Structure 1
Amino acid sequence: MQWIVEGLRAAAHRYGRARVNIAVGYALFVVAAALVSMLTALLYTVPEIAEVGLVQEQLQRVRSIVFDTTAVLLIVLCGFGFIAIWFGVVQPIQAFRERAIAKLSDTSTAEALALSEKSLQRAREQLQVALQDNIELRRELRALRGIEVRADALVEALVAAYTDPMVLVGADGRIVDLTRSACEIAGCSREAAVGQPFAAVLRIYDGTKETPREHPLDHLVAQALEAPSALPRIQSVVLLDQRDVERRAIFSIASVIDRDGHCAGATVRIAPAQSDAGKLPEPMAQSLVVQSVREDVRKQFGDRIEELIRLARMREERHCLLWIRLDQVATISDQHGYLAAEELVRRMAQLVRERLGEKGECYEMATDRIAVLLGFRSLQEGRTTAEHLRQAIASRQIPWKGARLSVTASVAVVPIDAASEGRAQVLAVAEDLVLAIAAAGGNAVRVDEPNEQHLSRRRLDREWLEWIKPRLGDGRAHFISQEIVPLSPGASKPSLECYLRVEDDDGVWLTPGAFMPSLERLRQTGMADLWVLRAVLEQMEREAEAMDGYDTVFLNFSAESLLDAEFNDRVFHTLASSSIPPSRISFEFDERVAAMYAEAFCRFAEIVRPTGAGIALDRCRWTINDELIRRAGVGYIKFHESVIKRAMHDRYDRAHLEWLRTASGLLNVRTVACGVEDEATLEEMRRIGIDYAQGVILNKMGLLMA
Structure 2
Amino acid sequence: MTPNPPPLADALGRWRTRLLYTLLLLAVLGSLCALLLWHWGVALVGGSRPLLAALQTALFLVFAGVAWWLAVARPFARLPIDAPAAESGAGAAQLQALQHERDKRAEQLNAMLQMNRTMRDKLARLGAEQQLALRARDALLGATQDPLILTDGGGVVLGVSPAAATALRRAREDLVGKRFEDVVPLFQSGVDAYENHPLPRFLAGVLESRSGIPQIQQAVLLTADREPVTVFVTAGAILDGAGQVIGSTVRFARVESAAAEPTAVPTLSLADAEIGSWAAKLLSREPFERRVEDLIADSHNTGAQHMLLYLRVDDLERINDQAGYWAGEQALWHAAKNFSLALVDAGTGYRCTNNRFATLLIGCDETRALAVAERIRSHAENNELVWEGKRFPCTFSIAVLPVDRDTPKLSELLGAAETLLSEARRRGGNCVLHKIPDEAVKTRQRDDQTWLDWLLPRLDNGRAHLISQETHSLAQPPLKPLLEFFIRVEDDDGVWLEPGHYLPAIERLRQSHRLDLWSLQHLLEALSRDMKLFETHGLASLNLAPQTLLDDGFAEQAFETLAGSMVPAERLCFEIDEAFALSQSSVVQRFMERLRPLGLRFALDRCHTTTGITQLRRLPIDYMKIHPQITRNIEDDALDRTHLEWICQAAHLLGRKTVAINIESPAALALLRGAGVDYVQGSAVNKMGPVMT
Which band: TM-score by shorter chain? 0.5 to 0.7
User: Which position in structure 1 is the counterpart of 2:442?
Assistant: 455
Cα deviation 1:160-212 (Å, max 9, x = unaligned): xx9976544599997634475643553369xxxxxxxxxxxx9xxxxxxxxxx
Name the CA distance, whole Å, in 2 between partners of 1:378 and 1:501.
Answer: 47
Q: Secondary structure at the match of 1:544?
A: coil
Where do residues 229-378 of structure 1 align in structure 2 (5 Å cutoff)?
Answer: 239-240=238-239, 244-245=243-244, 290=274, 297-298=283-284, 300-329=287-316, 342=329, 345-364=332-351, 368-378=355-365
CA gap of 1:418–1:533, structure 2 versus 1, over 3 A, is: farther
CA distance in 2, matches of 1:506, 1:399: 46
CA contact (8 A) 1:619 1:638 kept: yes
Aligned partners of 1:449, 1:306: CA distance in 2, in Å?
Answer: 22
Which residue of 670, 685, 689 corresponds with 1:683? Answer: 670
- Structure 1 residue 457: deviation in Å? 1.9
Residue identity matched to 1:554: S
The Cα shift of 1:653 comes to: 3.1
Contact 2:660–2:677 (CA<8 Å) still a contact in 1? yes
SS at match of 2:532: helix
> Could you say which residue in structure 2 is the equivalent of 1:186?
207
The residue number in structure 1 matching 2:533 is 546
**Cα distance in 2, alignment partners of residues 362 and 669 from structure 1:** 34
Q: Which of 560, 567, 588 is residue 580 of structure 1 equivalent to?
A: 567
Q: State the match for 1:618 in structure 2.
A: 605
Partner of 2:645: 658
Match of 1:442 in 2: 429
Alignment of 1:439-588 (within 5 A): 441-447=428-434, 449=436, 451-588=438-575
Aligned to 2:179: 176
Are the aligned partners of 1:165 and 1:270 in contact in 2 as well (CA < 8 Å)?
no
Q: Classify the secondary structure of the residue corresponding to 2:533.
A: helix
How much has 1:507 moved relative to structure 2?
A: 2.2
Give the drift of 1:565: 2.8
Which structure's residues are more often helix, by fraction? 1
Structure 2 gap ranges (5+) = 1-146, 159-173, 185-200, 213-235, 253-270
Contact in 2 for aligned 1:288/1:625 (Cα 8 Å): no
Aligned pair in 2 of structure 1 residues 495, 618: CA closer, same or farther (>3 Å)?
Answer: same
Residue in 2 aligned with 1:697? 684
Look at both structures and tell me which one has the larger radius of gyration over its CA atoms: 1
Q: In the alignment, which residue of structure 2 is the partner of 1:637?
A: 624
Shift of 1:385: 2.9
Offset of residue 416 of structure 1: 3.7
CA–CA distance in structure 1, aligned partners of residues 513 and 545 of structure 2: 8
Q: Is the 8 A contact 2:324 2:629 kept in 1?
A: no
Residue 660 of structure 2 is aligned with which of 673, 688, 704? 673
How many angstroms apart in 1 are the aligned matches of 2:348 and 2:175?
Answer: 32
Q: Which amino acid aligns with 1:615?
A: F
Q: How many Å apart are 1:322 and its aligned residue? A: 2.6
Q: CA deviation at 1:562?
A: 2.6
C-alpha separation in 2, matches of 1:449 and 1:490: 60
Name the amino acid aligned to 1:696: S
| Counterparts of 2:391 and 2:276, CA distance in 1 | 28
Deviation by residue 1:374-412 (Cα, 9 ceiling, x = unmatched): 233345544443233222111114666766565222333
- Aligned equivalents of 1:666, 1:423: Cα separation in 2: 42
User: Which residue of the partner structure matches residue 408 of structure 1?
Assistant: 395
CA contact (8 A) 2:602 2:623 kept: yes
Q: How does 1:212-223 map to 2 (within 5 A)?
A: none
Correspondences of 1:368-407 after superposition (within 5 Å): 368-379=355-366, 381-397=368-384, 406-407=393-394
Distance 1:572 1:472 in 2: 21
Return the alpha-carbon distance in structure 1 between the equivalents of residues 245 and 320 of structure 2. Answer: 39
Structure 2: distance between partners of 1:595 and 1:177: 29
Identical columns (%): 34
Q: Which runs of 5+ in 1 are unaligned?
A: 1-161, 190-201, 203-236, 252-268, 272-286
- Measured in 1, the distance between the counterparts of 2:648 and 2:339 equals 34
- Aligned-pair CA distance for 1:423: 4.9
Query: CA 1:445 to 1:506, structure 2 compared with 1: closer, same or farther past 3 Å?
Result: same
Give the distance between the partners of 1:594 and 1:174, measured in 2 at CA. Answer: 33
Residues of 1 paired with 2:157 and 2:454: CA distance? 62
- Counterpart CA distance in 1 for 2:612 and 2:503 is 26
Deviations 1:339-385 (Å, cap 9, x if unpaired)? 66555544543443333333222235566443322233345544443
For structure 1, which segment, 328-337 or 685-694, has the greater mean C-alpha deviation from structure 2 after superposition?
328-337
Cα distance in 1 for partners of 2:452, 2:314 equals 31
Q: Is 1:607 matched up with 2:606?
A: no
1:705 to partner: Cα distance: 1.1
Distance 2:571 2:558 in 1: 14
| Equivalent AA in structure 2 for residue 187 of structure 1 | E
Deviations 1:63-101 (A, max 9, x none): xxxxxxxxxxxxxxxxxxxxxxxxxxxxxxxxxxxxxxx
SS in 2 for 1:187: helix
Q: TM-score, normalised by structure 1?
A: 0.58
What do the CA deviations read for 1:633-674 (whole angstroms, capped 9, x no partner)? 122221221122254443233222221222222332222111
* Secondary structure in 1 matching 2:669: helix
Q: Give the whole-Å Cα distance in 2 for the aligned partners of 1:340 and 1:509.
A: 34
CA contact (8 A) 2:237 2:245 kept: yes
**SS at the partner of 1:548?**
helix
Aligned-partner residue type, residue 485 of structure 2: C
Q: Secondary structure at the match of 1:470?
A: helix
Q: CA deviation at 1:678?
A: 0.3
Change (3 A) 1:335 1:185: farther
Cα gap change, 1:386 to 1:612, in 2 (>3 Å):
same
String of CA shifts for 1:239-274, please: whole Å, max 9, x gaps: 53698347998x7xxxxxxxxxxxxxxxxx679xxx
Q: Give the conservation status (yes or no) of the 8 Å contact 1:559–1:597.
A: no
Distance in 1 of aligned mates of 2:303 and 2:648 = 50
Contact 1:353 1:361 in 2 (8 A): no
Instruction: State the TM-score, normalizing by the size of structure 2.
Output: 0.59
Alpha-carbon distance, 1:493 to partner: 1.0
Match of 2:579, SS state, is: helix
More displaced, 338-347 or 303-312? 338-347
Q: Is the 8 A contact 1:398 1:405 kept in 2?
A: yes
Residue in structure 2 matched with residue 259 of structure 1 by the alignment: none
Measure the CA separation in 2 of the matches of 1:461 and 1:239: 58
Matches within 5 A, 1:127-142: none
Is this contact kept in 1: 2:149–2:157, CA < 8 A?
no
Cα displacement (A) at 1:443: 2.6
SS at match of 1:683: helix
Amino acid at match of 1:532: S
